[in-house]
Structure 1
């Protein structure tokens, strides 16, 4: 079995990393994304943008994977032993999937613990704070995809989707494209689709199976069911 999993902020929420949309203290209710997460915002006020991402980077370094991350890493390992495969595509810029043991992770929206030179495009690991002055002599920016920019590795993502037998979205809002359109692409191929989420996403009607609850509870339970088949 080849399983394609798309994860969003909901899978990391119980690790203390905030979600961007939805009820409660969603991040884009507290902060204006147009002032913090666009190329224009960075050009206008790079110090403000760096302050925001430095805060998020410090929060990430202090966080730990939760049971949902661990369960997905276990699923990947077990499928490999059964001649199957798991492709994990995440909208998250955290590294909690990797810290839990997942090996094949595609970060379509970039990675918070990396920086990219805005001039030459070179990407490097970066765990400390970024500032307007940078090591390479030009403008370092967070290696994240901002509003108005194209997500990363789309060719690899759609190639993996073509080989999938099962599509699963975990902790996603269903509001951000092109990620939100992946379920429809999977359905167009006749692939069964499952949503695991705290509550119904914007595109919940696209899924054949839907389960709701905290990710740390429903994801391990779902993984156990898949491995029992």
Structure 2
């Protein structure tokens, strides 16, 4: 059995990382994304953009994976033992899947603990604060290695190819509001793949899913993994 899992901010919320949409504490209800998460914002006021992502980077470094992350590691191992595979695609820019033990994660929206040169495009590990004086070896300005509004998500060809071999599509902790990620469930359905949503509450595209389970990710993801591995 090949399982395609798409994770969003909800899978990391119980680790203390904020979600972007939803409740009144969601990041994009507290901050204007057009002032913090666009190429134009970075060009206009790089200091403010760096300040926002520096705070998020420090928060991430202090965080730890939760039971939902651990359950997906268990799913990966269990599927491999049965001759199947897990494709784990995340909209999250954190590294909690990797820290939990997932062997391969496709970060379609980039990674917060990496920096990218705005001139040559080189990507490097980065756990320090960045500022307007942070430079690449080519002297180009460094920016967070994250996909901003108006930019194209990463690895889309690889993601669509993985959908071709999936037997089950599962979205965990996603809002269903951000495209092209929100459109992956429809792509899966067009291929005849059964679709399941695991979320704190129904997503914007909940009607697209065949099965739905709602509750805290640290509770519903481990129990769902138990069911899958018992089949």
TM-score, scaled to structure 2: 0.98
1:24, CA displacement in angstroms? 2.8
- Matches of 1:52 and 1:24, distance apart in 2: 18
- Matches of 2:205 and 2:153, distance apart in 1: 20
Alignment partner, residue 65 of structure 1:
65
Alignment partner, residue 210 of structure 2:
208
Alignment partner, residue 4 of structure 2:
4
Alignment partner, residue 46 of structure 1:
46
1:28 aligned onto 2:28: yes
1:94 aligned onto 2:97: no
Task: Please give the per-residue CA displacement for 1:63-121, whole angstroms capped at 9, x wherever unaligned.
Answer: 00000000001100111111100000000000000000001210000000000000000
Of 134, 141, 144, which residue of structure 2 is paired with 1:142? Answer: 144
Whether the 8 Å CA contact 1:86–1:104 is kept in 2: the answer is no
- Matches of 1:103 and 1:178, distance apart in 2: 24
- Matches of 1:141 and 1:14, distance apart in 2: 27
Ranges in structure 2 where 5+ consecutive residues have no aligned partner: none
Alignment partner, residue 218 of structure 1:
220
- Matches of 1:166 and 1:24, distance apart in 2: 33
Whether the 8 Å CA contact 1:41–1:49 is kept in 2: the answer is yes
Ranges in structure 1 where 5+ consecutive residues have no aligned partner: none
Q: Which moved more, 1:20-29 or 1:178-187?
A: 20-29
Task: Find runs of 4+ consecutive structure 1 residues off by over 3 angstroms.
Answer: none
Alignment partner, residue 16 of structure 2:
16
Q: SS of 2:179's equivalent?
A: coil
What do you get for the CA RMSD once the two structures are aligned?
A: 0.5
Alignment partner, residue 119 of structure 2:
119
- Matches of 1:140 and 1:132, distance apart in 2: 8
- Matches of 1:217 and 1:202, distance apart in 2: 22
1:135, CA displacement in angstroms? 3.8
Q: How many residues align?
A: 229
